[in-house]
Structure 1
């Protein structure tokens, strides 16, 4: 093994150890996060910090979430191999790439055309052919493809958006940060049953706000 290869292997071991120490124990989630290298999703000055458990800035004033939060959200969603998943907030594409290893089909939408274009290129390079990415208003979901077995929202809403709740299949799960954008928010697990929606508070988080409309960049 080359010196660089040994360094990469050591960083990967530390990366996975950090995930486990934060409570990510689902073997399928850990395997997906081991398989999807976070490095290519971070460009420029912060590329060297790709394997640290911290959020980092990306284009369009957005962020890539810290890996432990990505893992905890993914684990909480309890994704099954035949599930159809909707992600709101493509961002770097990292979360969608991990979801693609766990679900049958992933649909991801972002308000910034630039981010969607960059993510599509990465999905193509990684041969992740079960992801469909679209520029659009995430608060409206993706009605043409509804219902979804799982929905993951990577931006904070004051309340779970009603269009997204409507697009969640019976028995489906939505993971969404809820709260004011300038304060600590709560990550909420919403489960839809025949009788309505059950809400479970998971952990405090901090995400960029979920905004209506399209971004200017």
Structure 2
């Protein structure tokens, strides 16, 4: 499939204008990344024509690809620089990691569901995202060997902020994480400076559950 087809380019541009810029996302690097990443390749072929809609979509294994605006809002809130090293918890479809990889020097991403891990690794290779490093495992424990990170983004809802992730933030580091119950969360931004941690709420959201030692202990149906 031609990832630069006129059809999908038009859909991406319309998505950026109507869904993202219209809601106040202004960071030029974020907007450029979203215009460049072929979102339709991060969903199944059956859902490609819906890939640029203003809603999340299922990607299998009980997981979803987030609404485009949420991806843009969370990415903008990280206030990224080109030389940043970013940790993502919950690779999922791989779309968020690809957006980050368009902006920063290195993305580390962890996925606990093996079929998604395998699928996204192949897609990153296909799309030549050589600055994305993947790991299969429990993301709630972070990636201590590669810490500290300039930014951390968690793409699943947690009952609390996992302490290992806080410890792996560099001084000056930012983290975005949904925190709440199984049905709704607040999108929390955490900033670490030399005096400690500050938290602010960015508003309500709803994500799939963050499963792991420092999140939800198991999937509850």
Q: TM-score range by the shorter chain?
A: over 0.9
* TM-fit CA distance, 1:92: 0.3
* TM-fit CA distance, 1:203: 1.9
Hey, what does 2:28 align to over in structure 1? 27
Hey, what does 1:190 align to over in structure 2? 190
* TM-fit CA distance, 1:45: 3.0
Q: What do the CA deviations read for 1:131-156 (whole angstroms, capped 9, x no partner)?
A: 00111101100111111000000011
Q: What do the CA deviations read for 1:71-121 (whole angstroms, capped 9, x no partner)?
A: 000000011101110000000000000100111100000111111111111
Matches within 5 A, 1:95-174: 95-174=96-175
The answer to whether the 8 A contact 1:32-1:98 is kept is yes
Hey, what does 1:13 align to over in structure 2? 13
The answer to whether the 8 A contact 1:189-1:201 is kept is yes
The answer for unaligned runs of 5 or more in structure 2 is: none
- Is 1:202 aligned to 2:189, yes or no? no
Q: What do the CA deviations read for 1:131-189 (whole angstroms, capped 9, x no partner)?
A: 0011110110011111100000001111110000000011100000010022x211010
Greater RCO (CA < 8 Å, at least 6 residues apart): 1
The answer to whether the 8 A contact 2:186-2:204 is kept is yes
Whole-angstrom distance in 1 between the partners of 2:7 and 2:120: 27
Hey, what does 1:90 align to over in structure 2? 91
Indicate the SS of the match to 1:58: strand
Indicate the SS of the match to 1:39: helix
Indicate the SS of the match to 2:24: coil
Whole-angstrom distance in 1 between the partners of 2:68 and 2:173: 24
* TM-fit CA distance, 1:44: 4.1
The answer to whether the 8 A contact 1:111-1:135 is kept is yes
TM superposition score normalised by structure 2: 0.92
Whole-angstrom distance in 1 between the partners of 2:127 and 2:176: 26
- Evaluate the alpha carbon distance shift between residue 131 and residue 6 of structure 1 in structure 2; reply closer, same or farther with a 3 A threshold: closer
* TM-fit CA distance, 1:5: 4.8
The answer for unaligned runs of 5 or more in structure 1 is: none
Whole-angstrom distance in 1 between the partners of 2:115 and 2:168: 26
The answer to whether the 8 A contact 2:84-2:150 is kept is yes
The answer to whether the 8 A contact 1:15-1:51 is kept is yes
TM superposition score normalised by structure 1: 0.93
Whole-angstrom distance in 1 between the partners of 2:110 and 2:218: 12
* TM-fit CA distance, 1:47: 2.1
